[in-house]
Every structure is written in structure tokens, then in C-alpha cells.
Amino acid sequence: MSDMTLDEALYTTRAMRRVRPDPIPDDVQARILDAAIRAPSGGNTQGWRFLLVDDPGVRGRLAPIYRDCIDMLWKTIYADRISAMEADPDAPDSIEMAKVQRSANWMAKNFEVYPLLLFAFAQGDPTGGSIFPAVWSAMLAARAEGIGSTITSVLMFRLEEVLKILEVPPDEGWVFACCVPMGYPTGRWGVARRRPAHEVAFRNRWGDPLGFEVPGPLWKG
């Protein structure tokens, strides 16, 4: 097991897309999954299934679909943000959007490189609230092992084909939650940049100030 502090894992687990093709050993995969299934679920129903994909043949069939889905994402859900970025490339939001797009495009272009894909499926989970705690625990456990990961949902654009490739039974109510590509990073870990807590949290009544401010990350490494 890792001796990384919880604070370090919490502060530095982020979308880590640039990875090497080196395989993730089975004992490491076991620790990731065993941590994931400790997560909570409504009524402890544990309505989850995880599908680990390391077969290059299966990854190779998914890769062109992933690339097509990312193209669709930019043209649909992100179209307005991309137009705003192109109109004013020096605005802080544009700089952030450009970074996310470059990184996400790297993943799409290099999808075959990821040695392991973790697919998460939920059953009887109408809000999705009973699957993402487990997914995030898997990502924290992976981080503690020095493995980078990213939640991706974009395969939903061509989900039918993806489910066929993965041979997910169509009649058991399993709903695709996300795919988490994993691998050993080529770069370094850093603290995720976010809007500070006092700008996104209130106290007692909507809009009332929190009563304290957190100007920068409280964990500095």
C-alpha cells in the first residue's frame, strides 16, 4: 500500500492524460479496484461493475471511436466555449480552455497508448451518485501508485458501438458511467487550479458569504 498522505492525493489527483505505454501490473490493478469498491453507494447496493481493458485489440477498436467522439464534443457541447476562445484567445477562460483542448486532443490522438482503461457501469443509480465516489476512489488509489488517470464520458456519443465491442449485456440495466484511461505519466504532478472555495460556497442562505476566504491551496506539498 502507498504511504502518500491523503492531502497530497486529494490535491494532486487531476486529469493526467500524457502517459507512457508501460503496463500496470496486476497487483497494482488489484489495489486500485479494492480501494474503489470500498466507496459508498445508496443503501450499500453496490450496483456497479468495472471492466478493465488492457487487450490491445479491444483498445485499438475503441481508439478511432474515441477520436470521432472528441471531434463531436468540440462541435457540439463545447462549440460556444471554443468560439469564445477563438474570439479572445488571451482571456483567462480562453487560456484554460485551450489547455484542456490540447490535452484532450493528445488523449484522442494517442488513445492506443493507455495500457489500461477502466470502464464503470451502474445499475439502479438514477442520479449517478452511487458510481462516481467509487470511480474517484479508483483515481485517488491510482494516484497513490504514481498512475495518472482521467474521467472521460465522451464515448457516450457512440455508446451503442462501444457497448457491443465490450460485450455489455443489453438487458441487465447496466448504464455506462465513464471510461478512465490510466497510465504512468510522462510529466509531473501539480495542484489542480480551481476557483477558490469562498467564491463557490455560501453559508446558511444562498449568496451569503462563507465567513472565511481561502486565497490559495491550503496544501502546498
Ligand X SMILES: Cc1cc2nc3c(=O)[nH]c(=O)nc-3n(C[C@H](O)[C@H](O)[C@H](O)COP(=O)(O)O)c2cc1C
Residue 159 binding ligand X, by CB under 6 A? no
Residue nearer to ligand X on the CB measure, 7 or 26: 7
Residue 117 binding ligand X, by CB under 6 A? no
Residue 151 binding ligand X, by CB under 6 A? yes
Residue 107 binding ligand X, by CB under 6 A? yes
Residue nearer to ligand X on the CB measure, 58 or 100: 100
Site string for ligand X, 63-102 (x = CB under 6 A): -------------------------------------x--
Residue nearer to ligand X on the CB measure, 130 or 150: 150
In the range 8-27, which residues lie near ligand X by CB under 6 A?
14-15
- Total site size for ligand X, rule CB under 6 A: 11
DSSP the chain: -----HHHHHHH--B---B--PPPPHHHHHHHHHHHTTS--GGG---EEEEEE--HHHHHHHHHHHHHHHHHHHHTTTHHHHHHHHH-TTSHHHHHHHHHHHHHHHHHHTGGG-SEEEEEEESS-TTSTTTHHHHHHHHHHHHHTT-EE--B-GGGGGHHHHHHHTT--TTS--EEEEEEEEE-BSS---PPP---HHHH--BSBTT---S----S-S---
Residue 152 binding ligand X, by CB under 6 A? yes
Residue nearer to ligand X on the CB measure, 4 or 151: 151
Residues forming the site for ligand X (CB under 6 A) = 14-15, 100, 104, 107, 150-154, 192
